[in-house]
Structure 1
Amino acid sequence: MYRTYRMLTLYSGAVLSFILNKRCKAGKENPERVLEKKGISNHTRPSGALLWIHAASVGEAQSALILVRRLTALNPDINILVTTGTLTSSQLMQSRLPENAFHQFFPLDHPKWVERFINHWHPNAVIWMESELWPNMLNEIRTNNIPAILVNAHMSDKSFSSWKKMKPLAKVTLSAFTKILCQTDTDKTYFDQLGAKETIITDNLKYSADTLDFNQDSLDALSLSIKDRPVWLYASTHKGEETLACDVHKTLKDQFPDLLTIVVPRHPDRRKEIIELCSAYDVKITFRGSDKALPDGNDDIYIVDTLGELGLFYSLTSIACIGRSFSDDGGGGHNPIEAAQLNCAILHGPNVQNLQDIFDDMDTDKAALCIRDPKHLCDTLSILLNDDNETAILQSAALEYSNKKTHIIEHIMSEIISTLENKASSKFLTTETESA
């Protein structure tokens, strides 16, 4: 089955090039770096050991940053290549990576493009994050005998159902990984059934996320602007959730005339789309934008269309609803631990399957509240905005929960180091070494 996949993708170059050009014109790719998606880079491979970490998008990239910081602390001389596939994740990486780490776009899964990528970078080892599996790239890693480990591995029911129909392809693809570190029992079962070599459960790396940073001057300016207005935050929203925010705001405004609803879209470049979505509502919207505009006291909805400021707004507000849990795309949820670390009372919708175990655990501990529907969201916000004590109870439970599993990173780091260094017969992760 892999031969068939390889043959089909081998003849896909013209189509993939057309798609990339179209995406460039639509502003969905960086035209100055689009050749990286064909495995072509103008960045020279640094001398010495090179560790490659692949993270598909923003969520995986944030988890990858945890490992980057730990690995550079172990060996300040190691070079780290981080690849992602999206514009937003590339901007995040470029702003947060340390000096000895750098970002490239992940090449599309064309056999020649992935071969070109591997031949250029010659990584000593690979850490692959979470769930994105590309057969040609992983086959290239395997045939070049590059040690690889899948970290924070997750597989949704839908993905498992799809891969199960292509089990021979799945088995070949997964054979690139010496070991797979799974988030849950279910994930382990799925990877085992698809033919993975060795799997263990290490829980979710997101429990060990560093607390999001923020600019204190910006926080002071926002606090002064908002004053004592009642406020709630809708964090990391996706399509459909901005209109929900407008609906909720209009419902609550009779009870709270000076209510401010803050919305932080997951993808800041959706400004035009958000304007169109919210145009049917009689609400005044202010966009933060690159000039860092502040709420003016007359606005209803404050849209934070900037990157890297989520920590600022978790610090500003007491109540946060986690995005992509009500969204039109089927949901999945985003990491609630970040909000918990910054002392927010946490609400979320019913569609949190990407992080189901974390949300279920938090709900059980009363560290978060699952909201059934828009009316339930309105009712819950009404209670919390009216009662500081109820909000404080939720905040305290969330903060306490966020400190429960910070040890997980130690287990994951131990597995990464032992697996990759044993496979490579070299202590390149913990001591300086020459590249192969």
Structure 2
Amino acid sequence: MNWGQWLSRLAGTLAGPVLPPLLRRRAAQGKELAPRLRERKGFGAARPQGLLIWLHAASVGESLSLVPLMEALVARQPALHLLVTTGTVTSAALLKRRLPAAVAARVIHRFAPLDVPRWIDRFLDGWRPDAVAIAESEIWPNRTYALAARGIPAALVNARISPRSAAAWGRWAPGLARDLLGHFALVMAQSEDDAARLRALGASGAICRGNLKAAAAPLPVEVAELARMRAILGRRPVLLAASTHPGEDAVVIAAHRAMAPRLPGLLTVIAPRHPQRGPEIAALAAPLPTALRSEGGLPEAGVEVYVADTLGEMGLFFRLAPAGLGVTLIGGSLVPKGGHNPLEPARLGSPVLLGPDTSHFREVADDLLAAGGALRVGDAVTLAETATDVLTNPERASGMARAAATIADNAAHLPDELAEAILGLLPSGPGLAPEA
């Protein structure tokens, strides 16, 4: 046992007695499900017969990005079982809604065990996965060492690491980073920059296959609700701010005030990343006529700002802002949050606007900008000017939508490639590992 493994095991063991009260507190806050808290300690194994792959994703974005990968895995191995663990209640709920029936029948969901050695051991001894695929940057030491000790091959898929995190690992724990990353049989990064940073930290075989979030299917929608909302909106122009963070809503509202005189009937829809911020956004919009979806409000005539403070409805709102009638600003890009997936609105025909920070989707954003499928904005003034230009120029809006759709289509092959690589880790599974 090296020093990194020893320290990780000690830290995890010492944390064990402290974590249960924190979990109970989170359950009281609605951040955990009280009846399922034992899963966080590794209980609840119910391993089926046959091959089992464990897929892990921390939260909503990572979980949903794995859906096309799950579809590709099951399509190639119909008898395969998938154990899917997530770290949040919201991700579990959305995942259940998004999984196609054929895939859901092969999926068992559990909340991920925390990185306490006894809890991880209990989990792995109960489930005995044949291979593991972990999304993005969820590299926990005790879990990684426990997998290695059992000879369970692990892949890091859609891997990413920010320049800041890479610098911190390199400065404070280069040996530990090299040791942990060395235990992954496959490291498939979401960008060339991520792959380079991971190689520098010790994942010598890290390669870029593309961003799984760019390969997701179009977001779903309830057809009846879409028809109802379209009837309510008619031909009103729509500025949609999707998945906003604090600091962005005021910018969007200021842009609305500047645009409204030139665009009669303009409706600005703000969909916060965290729906509980709905009342706060409504207060920012005052005295503009505002309605909150969580309270049953509708974007009827006279409403200027519609706060879409619900979960799982972005497929609806992207479809309500198509080229010629609407435009979508990607939230998390006007503030330093890295931005969210710009291909979600692109797949549904909505022209895309990006703020200055698109670091989480840098290559996708660069491709969109280069192809004319997106435009960059920086503040309320440029947002108002650019959005007005797109909304008053249908030909330009349609051209942006076509260019963005092409970029989105280019990512469609990725789930199949990753599925083949992961299946190649199975004891007797088909598939080829990606070339180094």
TM-score (norm 2): 0.90
Q: How big is the shift at 1:88?
A: 1.6
**1:13 lines up with 2:16 in the alignment:** yes
Matched residue SS, 1:80: strand
Structure 2 counterpart of 1:157 = 163
**1:303 lines up with 2:310 in the alignment:** no
Matched residue SS, 1:188: helix
Give the AA of the match of 1:116.
R
CA distance in 1, matches of 2:254, 2:17: 45
Structure 2 counterpart of 1:317 = 321
Structure 2 counterpart of 1:433 = none
**1:40 lines up with 2:33 in the alignment:** no
Q: How big is the shift at 1:60?
A: 1.2
Distance 1:213 1:180, change over 3 A: same
Counterpart among 286, 289, 307 of residue 284 in structure 1: 289
CA distance in 1, matches of 2:245, 2:198: 29
Number of equivalenced pairs: 419
Counterpart among 19, 28, 49 of residue 31 in structure 2: 28
Instruction: Tell me the C-alpha RMSD between the 2 structures.
Output: 2.0
Structure 1 counterpart of 2:338 = 332
**1:111 lines up with 2:85 in the alignment:** no
Matched residue SS, 2:18: helix
CA distance in 2, matches of 1:17, 1:232: 45
Structure 1 spans left out of the alignment, 5+ residues: 431-436
CA deviation map 1:12-39 (0-9, x unaligned): 1232223222222222222222222222
Distance 1:120 1:141, change over 3 A: same
Q: How big is the shift at 1:166?
A: 0.7
Cα contact 2:420–2:431 (8 A) shared by 1: no
Matched residue SS, 1:250: helix
Cα contact 2:27–2:33 (8 A) shared by 1: yes
Structure 1 counterpart of 2:396 = 390
Counterpart among 28, 33, 53 of residue 51 in structure 1: 53
Give the AA of the match of 1:112.
R
Structure 2 spans left out of the alignment, 5+ residues: none
Q: How big is the shift at 1:290?
A: 8.3
* More divergent stretch after superposition (73-82 vs 29-38): 29-38
CA distance in 1, matches of 2:350, 2:281: 27
Matched residue SS, 2:82: strand
CA distance in 2, matches of 1:176, 1:324: 33
CA distance in 1, matches of 2:301, 2:105: 41
Distance 1:108 1:284, change over 3 A: farther
Give the AA of the match of 1:11.
L
CA distance in 2, matches of 1:298, 1:23: 40
Give the AA of the match of 2:73.
L
Cα contact 2:66–2:212 (8 A) shared by 1: no
- Residues 331-370 of structure 1: pairs in structure 2 closer than 5 A: 331-370=337-376
Counterpart among 126, 131, 135 of residue 129 in structure 1: 135
Q: How big is the shift at 1:369?
A: 0.8
CA distance in 1, matches of 2:304, 2:34: 37
- Residues 173-192 of structure 1: pairs in structure 2 closer than 5 A: 173-192=180-199
Structure 1 counterpart of 2:108 = 102
CA distance in 2, matches of 1:404, 1:7: 46
Q: How big is the shift at 1:195?
A: 1.6
Q: How big is the shift at 1:277?
A: 4.3
Q: How big is the shift at 1:123?
A: 0.9
Q: How big is the shift at 1:377?
A: 0.5
